[in-house]
A = this chain, B = another copy of it.
Amino acid sequence: MGIALAEAALDSGHEVVVISGPVSLKYPPNAELFEVVSTEDLLHMCERVFPACDGIIGAAAPCDYRPEQISARKLQKNGEPLFIKLVETPDVIATLGASRLAHQWLVGFALETENHKNRAFDKLRSKKCDLMVLNGPAAMNSLHNSVDIVDHTGNVVASHTGAKNVVARGIVLEINRRLIHNSTPTHATRAC
């Protein structure tokens, strides 16, 4: 989905910066690419890059939790269960939302398995996003996606289903229409 969004934003005249975890696919070469591994790395890179951007599309699905301890050596099986303590990672979009400048726009992604629209709207408000793109687990490792776009009123303002590049064009179209108010498309918008 990140690749499709980068392509759609480039095609629409935006300048694009991608911050990505390790993936086996290639981003468009005319996007600027920063590679990260952990959720903490993702946040730090976003905090570095976002001040120079006009908006962000948060399509990454970073880990919500990390192990509290990481062993330097391989754990040997001993016949007993193993208990892993996981602690929450920082919320990248909420952190960026809390410090956003007046002219900056935020589009979040919510992947939900139940109470979809209520949760998406809750996330939009708590993370201070302008739009929330709601999708389900069927989007993962698939060439297709089906999304509802929720705005600040809590209403679904657009829905797109199909190949991810088609859905991405639909999302970028809504961003251009609803969030970008300058009259000329020459103003560079960077979508992270």
Q: Which residues of A contact B (CB under 8 A)?
A: 24, 64-65, 68, 72-77, 79, 81-88, 91, 111-114, 119, 137
Contact = CB atoms under 8 A, between A and B. Distances in A.
Contacts of A87: 81-82
27 contacts: A64-B75, A64-B77, A65-B82, A68-B81, A72-B113, A73-B113, A73-B114, A74-B111, A74-B112, A74-B113, A74-B114, A74-B137, A76-B119, A77-B88, A79-B88, A81-B85, A81-B86, A81-B88, A82-B85, A82-B86, A82-B87, A83-B83, A83-B84, A83-B85, A83-B86, A84-B84, A84-B86
Contacts of A77: 64, 88, 91
Nearest to A137: B74
Contacts of A91: 77
A60 to B, nearest CB: 16
Contacts of A112: 74
Contacts of A75: 64
Contacts of A137: 74
A113 B70 CA distance: 14
